[in-house]
Amino acid sequence: MGSWIDGPKAAAEKMGADFGYRGERLGLPKEGPGSVAGVGRRLGALCVDSWLCSLVAYGLLSGGDLNGANRWTLPLFYVVCVVLLATTGTTLGKRLFGLRVVRLDGARATIPQVLLRTLLLCLVIPAAVWDRDTRGLHDKAVGTVEVRI
């Protein structure tokens, strides 16, 4: 017996609706390389990347001033993400967690896609809203997906 806590997806599944696996609508495999990355891995990679940027901002850019480091962290995060995603398709945190950002056709994201995706990621809200494939609005807006490598 279900409850309202289960949510509408669970209720629909109990009535026989089949949503498939995450990434099926995109033509991606269910598991392994090329499958849609889980939320836990993506958050872990984001934490590593932001922590590294905070560390660099504190040590190099602000001269040890914590308030100065706070000012530099987000712009540094933006620049690092854009440069690394545009050149390699992955950041240090994403590499550590085995992730890559690609276009829906599997090719590397273009520079305009990376610029807009990272800007929307820095705004936080678009990244916090996602669809049933767990693609955030920042990925949907530019036609990218974060996959396992």
pLDDT score, position 102: 96
* pLDDT grade for 131, boundaries at 50, 70 and 90: confident
What is the DSSP secondary structure assignment for residue 8, as one 8-state letter?
H
- Strand positions, DSSP E, 54-123: 99-103
Of 65-74, 92-101, 105-114, the poorest mean pLDDT is in 65-74
The arithmetic mean of pLDDT across residues 58-72, rounded, is 76
* pLDDT grade for 144, boundaries at 50, 70 and 90: very high
CA dist list (Å): 113 to 12, 45, 72: 35, 20, 23
Retrieve residue 97's tokens: 């967690």
- Encode pLDDT of 20-31 as tens digits: 788 888 888 999
The arithmetic mean of pLDDT across residues 122-131, rounded, is 90
- Encode pLDDT of 15-55 as tens digits: 766 677 888 888 889 999 999 999 999 999 999 999 999 99
pLDDT above 70 (res 11): no
